[in-house]
Amino acid sequence: MAKTAPEASHQRRNFFYLFFILLIIWLALTSSFHWQEFSVGILLSLILSLILSKNYLKLGLPPISLKRIAFSIAFTIVLFIEIVKANLDVAYRVIHPKMPIKPGIVVIKTTLKQDIAKMILANSITLTPGTFTLDILGDTLLIHWINVQSENMDEATKIIGERFEKYLRVIFS
């Protein structure tokens, strides 16, 4: 079966993604560069990525570039800061005698297209306490919010999603 050129390059890219992810995990698990460990790791990663890289095709992983790596690192830092901030906020709400919460479910929009980008956004929102992704329907996310500040979709998108999405848009553009 003849494949078009971009499709073949996508496949090759996903193969290398999976191969290197597996190899890095293998090295982290064995924590050794001994040739025996290393060769078995390469062999296993090769077999697994040959069989399973077509699963990664639909994820929509972007080509690798310096800008994307830089933004991924920035995203990780921002995510960490947001998690700490949200933890303190929720802790304050729990400890406060009046318990100033206003729980509710809001809908926010996303412009991200790839499955993996949506998943990272949803998981980032879930990881920050106070907000929780219930489901993703098309380009909208259902969010349970401990303190609903706005029921308006655009405003809610700005408060909840935008802080992560501006990085993800660059990474997955």
Q: How far apart are CA 151 and CA 137, in angstroms?
A: 18
Count, residues in the chain? 173
Per-position x/- string for 47-86, each x denoting binding to another protein as judged by CB under 8 A, each - no binding: -xx--x--xx-xx---------------------------
Give the max Cα distance, the chain.
Answer: 68
Quick check: 118 binds another protein (CB under 8 A)? yes
**H-state helical runs in the chain:** 5-30, 35-57, 66-95, 115-127, 153-156, 162-171
Binding another protein (rule: CB under 8 A), the pick from 10, 11, 21, 62 is 21
Binding another protein (rule: CB under 8 A), the pick from 8, 25, 70, 88 is 25
CB 29 within 8 A of CB 56: no
Query: Nearer Cβ to another protein, position 15 or 71?
Result: 15
For 112, the token pair is 């991200």
Query: Nearer Cβ to another protein, position 58 or 102?
Result: 58
Choices 19-27, 63-71, 86-94, 155-163 (CB under 8 A): range interacting with another protein: 19-27
What minimum distance in Å lies between the beta carbon of 1 and another protein? Answer: 22
For 169, the token pair is 């848009």
CA distances from 74 to 24, 39, 98 (A): 21, 34, 37
Quick check: 44 binds another protein (CB under 8 A)? yes
Name the residues that contact another protein, by CB under 8 A.
18, 21-22, 25-26, 29-30, 34, 36-37, 40, 44-45, 48-49, 52, 55-56, 58-59, 115-116, 118-119, 122-123, 133, 135-136
